[in-house]
Structure 1
């Protein structure tokens, strides 16, 4: 297997990225010139793609790193879903260059999915060059570190990876009310499986954890802002203040107004 050397002297240059799902089982990748490096992360099915150096079969939870080539093309129908990302590494080569196998199994695909979605979101929202280059470089380093950990025998189980990925996703979206269904759609696992994995490690249900996390944000808003109870509830996804108050009390044991009063009441000064 060919190893790819990538210079880390400077940030890599991000070009564009996306997520693709084959429209039919007969879809074949287009034929074209590839002017920069491209990374494929296959999340479903199998991708059959080739360049002037050979043909590649990229299966679920595998990646392929293709350098620039005069001819990139599909050589067989590919019924698959994958993230793709184009970049140009720094042209300055140093002793700190990292070496990534051209193709391998991804030890923790969930973390890659999170970072790819962050990169896509940043591209859609901000179009800020330094931010995109930084996120893209972070993605490359995540892949490199996963592979290094695997080679050193420092691997976690698939369930442990999934559990950590859920925690990462919740922290990244900690100001938003998240449902188990949303996580199921994001990671591509059934709701019951996600909940089972999470509870087996955390000791509490996934639904309860999500509720606790969003209520931590609500607590901070109650103490540090002048927003009304209804405004705080609405900001975290509750369209009805009564439902928000019930959910808050379920977690804390007291109502939002009682919590606010208990935290803002001035202590009595001694006589």
Structure 2
């Protein structure tokens, strides 16, 4: 079986792997394994953190743990796709979850947004690994339970709770993706954003007529001066999260005032 070409991912087997620490150990036959699934997953996470998700292959993980590519399938039979699910859940298992109970609802939701943003910063590959079918392991379930608690006492229905959380996390993921794109662009050029705009200023002043594009000229100049460039992830995050919270605030008020 060639590396990264497993026979197929079995959802039931993957779920058992995700919950392996909670299940009764099954008797094994044959020689004792020299590695554990945790060691394989840890090696894959380290590779993804350092070199990106494309660097994670059965062959590269095997090299990192000092074994053969075929041996990796002993621990992760489904290959890279199954390994990715284990990686995501492992990151979520280890995430810190500070107490939220004493905070107001806006601060609770901002706290979970900030925690997710920090996860994306620490593990940028998570942005690419997000899926509409999340791995239903202990990390994902614990994260979901914890984040839903941020909405306690707001009078939302269960469907609204799920949608509200999806709304918040969707914004955070979009901001993290834009921030990663900006960082990747910055790493490929020797110019800072400020220097890049200075290089454009001379030509733009000759070709862009402020009387024809008054809003673009005025707002662009103001934003560029304030942010040091066309885009600033921190500014976009702060502004966007305030609007997300404002929008949720309107829903909360409607539920409180409902007859």
The alignment's TM-score, normalised by the length of structure 2, stands at 0.29
Higher helix share: 2
The alignment's TM-score, normalised by the length of structure 1, stands at 0.28
Higher strand share: 1
Highest RCO, 1 vs 2 (Cα 8 Å, sep ≥ 6): 2
